[in-house]
Amino acid sequence: MRHIRVLLAIGLLPAWAAFAAAPTIQSVINAASYRPGVASATWVAITGTNLSTSTRAWSNGDFASGNLPTTLDGVSVKINGKAAYVYFISPGQINVLAPDDPATGPVPVQVTNSQGVSNTYSANKQVVSPAFFNYSQAGGRYSVIQASATNELVGPPGIFGQSLTTVRAAPGEYLTLYATGLGPVASGQSSGQLVQTASPIVAPVNVLIGNVKANVAFAGLVGSGLYQLNVVVPNLPSGDAPIVVSVNGNPSSGQDYVPIQAPPGPVGGQTAPPITNCLTGQVDYITYSVSRLSYNLPDEVSIGGTRLCATCSVKTPLYSDFTARMEKSMGQKKNVQACYDNQGNVVEVRLVRP
């Protein structure tokens, strides 16, 4: 009778539960670039079958004393025999943060869950594996970037439909980019603990935008496996510019892009008036309206302040939505820079960067 009960209980289970197969790994890749090559403190995607019987990401309850979890719902991963930190599990994919390990070259990767231990997959481990995080929209073409002054997302207009506004980057603008796999940082931060303080990267870092070297104001670790780069857009024409980050001479894929909107060219053969000086001061408000056709198709901009000028009419040669973005990015700063020509007329106004 006991045997009959056991058989009936098995019969009530779905076939996959009664005869669940062990996990199988099919690929191990960088989770940002989706290309081969992993490194310590780098987000890694493991794809395959039967990797987990549940689907979820880590939550606050999975952390203990600031340590990242090495197991979610009984699912764990080892890279070169060391426990990785498990962020996301599903039957077809697991995302983990690779543990600290000086080893390079082919290393074994294995998944363990309630159904058993997977096959051993050989992954190529490198000192660094630089890669930008990209939006999933538009085929993953555009990197996740913020305009530093306004915190607006940079991307082609409409990439998120009507749900979220994006802007193109402008030459001379500061951008914030996000990447993984950029290597050790000055603080010696362990990959297995939550990041409390940002720390700069140890190795030399270079960023190319449109094949032109960009000024890198900061490059460092700001979160678990998450690196931030603050860069200035070089003087580039409008269009999609490829971006590449190199750490100690090791470049990212070069298949990542940022949309650029350069200032429009002169109208009707006009030339820019010579600028003799620029003044910086506090302003109380900025308003603008579309005006007549003049140098670089400007908007008429009025600024009023206590230290800059009572009221200045400004013709700005920057792109059309500059004034709106400038007003938004002022925040509590309320500082602009006005430039004058030889006749004392204000011919350009721009933000004063913090």
Concatenating the DSSP letter of every residue in 289-306 gives EE-SS-TTSPEEEEEE-S
Instruction: Give 299's pLDDT tier (boundaries 50, 70, 90).
Output: very low
What is the number of other CB atoms lying within 10 angstroms of the CB of residue 313? Answer: 12
> 336 with 284: CB under 8 angstroms?
no
Q: Look-up: residue for tokens 């699912």?
A: 75
Fold of 131-260: Immunoglobulin-like (2.60.40)
Going from the C-alpha of 353 to that of each of 133, 149, 334, 337, the distances in angstroms are 26, 8, 11, 10
What was the pLDDT predicted at 13?
45
**Higher per-residue confidence, 265 vs 243:** 243
Overall average pLDDT of the 90-117 stretch: 97
pLDDT the model gives residue 279? 59
Query: What does the alpha-carbon distance between residue 38 and residue 205 come to, in Å, rounded to a whole number?
Result: 18
Sequence ranges of the chain with CATH classification 2.60.40.10: 17-126, 131-260
Homologous superfamily (CATH) for 17-126: Immunoglobulins (2.60.40.10)
Confidence of residue 6 (pLDDT cuts 50, 70, 90): very low
**Domain limits, CATH 2.40.50, in the chain:** 275-351
Q: What mean pLDDT do residues 232-261 have? A: 93
Reported as a pLDDT band with limits 50, 70 and 90, residue 233 is very high
Task: Tell me if the domain spanning 275-351 has CATH number 2.40.50.
Answer: yes
Residue 84 to residue 69: CA distance in whole angstroms: 9
Give the H/E segment covering residue 325: helix 322-330
The stretch 245-261 carries a mean pLDDT of 93
If one compares 123 and 149, the residue with the highest pLDDT of the two is: 123
Compute the Cα dihedral for 247, 249, 253, 258 and give only its sign: positive
Comparing 202-216, 230-244, 246-260, 274-288, the range with the smallest average pLDDT is: 274-288
Tell me the mean pLDDT in the region 240-255: 94
Confidence of residue 8 (pLDDT cuts 50, 70, 90): very low
Q: How confident is the model at residue 280 (pLDDT cuts 50, 70, 90)?
A: low
29: nearest Cα among 44, 49, 51: 44
pLDDT 10s digits, 193-205: 999 999 999 999 9
43-55: per-residue pLDDT in tens? 999 999 999 999 9
